[in-house]
Structure 1
Amino acid sequence: MKVLIVSDSHGLVSELGVLKKRHGKEVDLFLHCGDSELAASEDVMEGYITVQGNCDYEDKYPTETIQEIAGKKIFLTHGHLYGVKSSLNSLLYKAKEVQADIACFGHSHYLGMEVVDDVLFINPGSLRLPRGRMEQTYVILTIERDRLETEVYDFHKGLLPELKNDFSL
């Protein structure tokens, strides 16, 4: 099973549609970690499971959600309510509380993946305003039993093979 994870697109419309067209046949679930700045009724948001970020002013998105796929529980939030710019501790406590295997978040615009206390944290970076890297990134997570693989893509250049990671949970 494959999950596309994107965040912090800050008003981009056509790019979110391009991601669905580009990966729609290979991806089983599309997640947006907030700050789309788009209305939930916007056509391009159809098919994305989305949470509300600090720059999303419409309250139709939840602040967090849990998705289960391929036997793994994914906790999805933007991150601003958990102070992710300074520490993952609050988010770790929440992920443990809801028994999540994976925690997806954005907010900082920094791409990163790491396992802490048996929880895989994924921040796909930012599609519009990346920090720490030049690439406008998103992540495709592959779940196969206890093996998880993350592949990072630049919106313009495609797969960045040097950033591929494998994790075991």
Structure 2
Amino acid sequence: MKVGIMSDSHGLTSEVEQIKLRHQAEVDVFIHCGDSELEKADAVMERLLAVKGNCDYDAAYPDYVVETIGDLRLLVTHGHLYNVKMTIMNLSYKADEEQADIICFGHSHIAGSEMIDGRLYINPGSIRLPRNRKEKTYAILELKKKEAIIQFYDVEGNIVTELSNTYTFN
């Protein structure tokens, strides 16, 4: 199972479409972690499991979504409601509450992944306004039994090797 993860596109449409087209044959589910600034009904948002960010005004977006993928529970949220720019502690409480194994979020525009207390936190960065890196990034998560392989890409589709990693769930 592969999950495409993007966030903080802030009005971009062609880039979102290009990412979806580039990976459509390999990705089972596409996620948008908020701040698309597009209506949920917009054709660009089709086939995207999307949540509401602080710059999204369409009430059709939920604040968060929990999905079960195989044996793992995935929590998707933007992060602004959990103050992720300061700490992920509040987000970790939400992950506890939802019994999430993988947490996908945006808001900070800082790409990265980290395993903390047996939970995998993924921020795909921003495909419009990245912070702490020059590359505009998104990610693809591949789940194989208890292994998670996360590959980060720049908006042109090149792998960003130094951000990519493999994690094992207990």
TM bin (shorter chain)? over 0.9
- 1:101-127: per-residue Cα shift (whole Å, max 9, x none)? 000000000011111111100000001
Structure 1 residues 30-45: aligned runs within 5 Å: 30-45=30-45
Q: SS at the partner of 1:150?
A: strand
Deviation of 1:70 (Å): 2.2
Unaligned 5+ segments in structure 2 are none
Partner of 1:15: helix, strand, or coil? helix
Q: Which secondary structure state, in structure 1, belongs to the residue aligned with residue 26 of structure 2?
A: coil
Deviates more, 1:65-74 or 1:96-105: 65-74
Structure 1 match to 2:106: 106
Q: How does 1:122-161 map to 2 (within 5 A)?
A: 122-156=122-156, 158-161=158-161
Deviation at 1:156, TM superposition (A): 2.0
1:97, CA displacement in angstroms? Answer: 1.1
User: Structure 2 CA distance, aligned partners of 1:160 and 1:123?
Assistant: 14
Give the C-alpha shift of residue 161 in structure 1. Answer: 2.5
Contact 1:76/1:105 (CA < 8 Å) preserved in 2? yes
Q: Which moved more, 1:152-161 or 1:36-45?
A: 152-161
Q: Which residue is equivalent to 2:84? A: 84
Count of residue pairs brought into register by the alignment = 169
Describe the superposition over 1:36-91 as per-residue Cα deviations: whole angstroms up to 9, x where unpaired: 00001110100000000000011110000011112211000000000100101010
- Please identify runs of 4+ aligned residues in structure 1 that moved more than 3 A: none
Counterparts of 1:162 and 1:115 in 2: how far apart (Å)?
16
Percent of residue pairs bearing the same amino acid type: 50
State the Cα distance separating 1:157 from its structure 2 match: 5.1
SS of corresponding position for 2:75: strand
Relative to structure 2, which stretch is displaced further, 157-166 or 26-35? 157-166
Report the equivalent of 2:17.
17
Given that 1:65 and 1:76 are in contact with CA atoms closer than 8 Å, whether structure 2 keeps it comes out as yes
Structure 1 portions without partners, runs of 5+: none
